[in-house]
A and B are shown apart, each in its own frame.
Chain A
């Protein structure tokens, strides 16, 4: 082969190596893809990566695999650290000193060592060569640099996967916890409620009006507690989606159904400003979202002629909705606080302070935002966005 032919072959081999990098986010598969190829094409005998993650030095990858009992001696670590300070790739003859850093028994030959920075050191070993030439090292260096970056991506991916698994487990545990707690709390509430009704019926002739008032107060508090527990359950499941629940929902029809079910008082009129869209989403979640905001708008309307208006407009990511009322309004100091769990700005006995937190969670589930504009005494406008075909 003439010089030009050799150069072309070298370039194409480097192309082949380059194309083998980053085929997988998995660390081992990523290493397999490139390092097995380099071993096959360059007829090498072994390779390994020392990694320094977590302050410890260990073999992150090797061909062949490292025996389980292998561990590095202190002196070997210091030698590795010395190599690590050198940024240039180097070729080392296998001698006793180098053997101390090698995870297998090597009879001879040489190693090429590449600095992978945070990812450690890559060793490529040949039994046959006396040394790797400067040209070989220089040819491989940009490939190994690219490989190092792909290893960093693999590490980040592994960390992300670990975090996601951990988060999934925590969410699952929290969800189970909420179910267990609510079930355990509801049972004694129901028992107390039953006993209160027994006292009322068994001792109806003996109870004075004060006693009855006290028992009624107990009942109303029990009812409130029951509502709070239901609210916690709804809140904990607001961002969970069961399989197959997404479908086309005509929001115009949905809002009309909600208004019908809420038994709107005669002095309040609910209007739909424009034809609301049809969206692919979970109908129950959308129902809860609109219901919670409309319920507040009705509940806190102090005007003789209450007006509530629902409308929407198309935005780039999906739709923006608003629910406008002429009720008592909210001090804008509390514009964020109203969406926090158990935060209520009124003394309404039936209010739990959960409804708007659930609304916010549902909106977040659909990658949207929720906010409000309000003026005390004049009313509020709640805005929220729902993204199409995207979910948090």
Chain B
């Protein structure tokens, strides 16, 4: 459900009326003129269980919105949780009992700019392994300035994650549509999300030579993101899609700053995409999930904000393709979601990781 009102009491009343006895996930667009703490109070006054996150934009149907909120309701929620300390190496994961006969998925909103987001995901997997499926979104502001961006009944938090554990089915589709330009290269000197050296040379010089050779355009510090948004890195994996890493800036030393960690000695390809490939990839993600559930009811998209920046006015074609693929054969699946700073998924049931420049579709019954 998309709500455009900014009155906390009205929002809470509408949720109570539309989704009685359900657990609510709120995706709030960052430009919404709303005091989150007042919303939390209104939700608590009506005893509505909920979690939420703040995102650059939100998705409803085949439209994106810069203000307002998406309200998504879930049945069979067995736990809601908050994990703080995503700026530390070992955030404390809550103990949640899983019924061996159950089929679970975990839905999480995490601070997409937290320094140890990957440690959170690693610890989460370390606790629950492949006994459940994982789906989530990196929350935060398009300005890339870190701020409190996930919330629950107790408040709004930075360097934290909120989530729900649901005893129900989920189908996951993960695609990006970027293809290899050159590689493999080795990120020979890195520090978390900063690549200092590629192939033992200055990272920017290597990247610049590749991008200028392929795109025939000059790339420098001042126009870096304008060009780099079409040339992400792909971390090589066996048998599955690349893990895409988005270089967003170059510093004075020629180090490339990415969204998401790149561990030292990671083997990389430089990727490139065209609008058609990206849109087809999104459609393919939708087609991949649609046959997996008997009676799918709603889909949630975790779609990278940088895909919007790359596709620009054609981004709606990506949403059109997803909505159309999900609703073929007269199905009636509502499509909601958020434009995110990092997409979280287990690639179906594998090791849990954060992606960039990728679309992850979660389909629920």
Interface of A toward B, CB cutoff 8 Å:
8-9, 12-13, 15-16, 19-20, 36-37, 39-46, 63-65, 104-105, 127-128
CB distance from B335 to the nearest CB of A (A): 28
In the complex, residue of chain A having the shortest beta-carbon distance to the beta carbon of B236 = A9
B201 within 8 A of A: no
B264 within 8 A of A: yes
Partner of A127, one of B184, B237, B243, B349: B349
Q: Are A43 and B351 in contact (CB under 8 A)?
A: yes
B217 within 8 A of A: no
Task: Give chain B interface residues in 296-325, CB to chain A under 8 Å.
Answer: none
B193 within 8 A of A: no
CB distance from A392 to the nearest CB of B (A): 35
In the complex, residue of chain B having the shortest beta-carbon distance to the beta carbon of A20 = B265
Query: Could you say which residues of chain A place their CB within 8 Å of the CB of B353?
Result: 40
What sequence of 0s and 1s flags, for each residue 321-365 of chain B, a beta carbon within 8 Å of any chain A beta carbon? 000000000000000000000000001011101000000000000
Interface hit among B120-128, B274-282, B287-295: B120-128
In the complex, residue of chain A having the shortest beta-carbon distance to the beta carbon of B241 = A43
What sequence of 0s and 1s flags, for each residue 236-249 of chain B, a beta carbon within 8 Å of any chain A beta carbon? 11111001000000
Q: A36-B122, A64-B129 are in contact. Are A9 and B184 (CB under 8 A)?
A: yes
Q: A13-B267, A37-B263 are in contact. Are A42 and B238 (CB under 8 A)?
A: yes
B14 within 8 A of A: no
Query: Could you say which residues of chain A place their CB within 8 Å of the CB of B122?
Result: 36
Given contacts A20-B263, A43-B237, A64-B125, 16 further A-B contacts (CB under 8 A): A9-B267, A12-B236, A12-B267, A13-B236, A20-B265, A36-B122, A37-B263, A42-B237, A43-B350, A43-B351, A45-B129, A63-B125, A64-B126, A64-B127, A65-B127, A104-B131
Q: Are A12 and B186 in contact (CB under 8 A)?
A: yes
Sample 25 A-B pairs with CB under 8 A, ordered by A number.
A8-B184, A9-B184, A12-B186, A12-B267, A13-B267, A15-B267, A16-B266, A36-B122, A40-B237, A40-B351, A41-B238, A42-B237, A43-B237, A43-B239, A44-B351, A45-B349, A45-B350, A45-B351, A64-B126, A64-B127, A64-B129, A65-B126, A65-B127, A104-B129, A127-B349
Q: Are B238 and A105 in contact (CB under 8 A)?
A: no
CB distance from A128 to the nearest CB of B (A): 8
CB distance from B292 to the nearest CB of A (A): 15
In the complex, residue of chain A having the shortest beta-carbon distance to the beta carbon of B131 = A105
Query: Could you say which residues of chain A place their CB within 8 Å of the CB of B92?
Result: none
Task: Give chain B interface residues in 31-85, CB to chain A under 8 Å.
Answer: none
In the complex, residue of chain A having the shortest beta-carbon distance to the beta carbon of B352 = A40
Those 10 A-B pairs whose CB atoms lie nearest each other, nearest first? A64-B129, A19-B265, A45-B130, A12-B267, A43-B350, A39-B351, A16-B265, A42-B238, A12-B184, A64-B126
* Separation of A15 and B268 alpha carbons in the complex (Å): 13
Q: A15-B265, A16-B266 are in contact. Are A43 and B240 (CB under 8 A)?
A: yes
Q: How many residues of B contact A (CB 8 A)?
A: 27
Q: Are A64 and B128 in contact (CB under 8 A)?
A: yes
Q: Are B266 and A44 in contact (CB under 8 A)?
A: no
Query: Could you say which residues of chain A place their CB within 8 Å of the CB of B236?
Result: 9, 12-13, 41
Query: Could you say which residues of chain A place their CB within 8 Å of the CB of B238?
Result: 41-43
CB distance from B60 to the nearest CB of A (A): 33
Query: Could you say which residues of chain B place their CB within 8 Å of the CB of A13?
Result: 236, 267
* Separation of A41 and B351 alpha carbons in the complex (Å): 9
Query: Could you say which residues of chain B place their CB within 8 Å of the CB of A64?
Result: 125-131
CB distance from B195 to the nearest CB of A (A): 14
Name the residue among B100, B243, B264, B351 with the largest chain A CB count within 10 angstroms: B351
Q: Are B186 and A46 in contact (CB under 8 A)?
A: no
Query: Could you say which residues of chain A place their CB within 8 Å of the CB of B239?
Result: 43, 128
CB distance from B197 to the nearest CB of A (A): 13
Name the residue among B127, B240, B263, B267 with the largest chain A CB count within 10 angstroms: B267
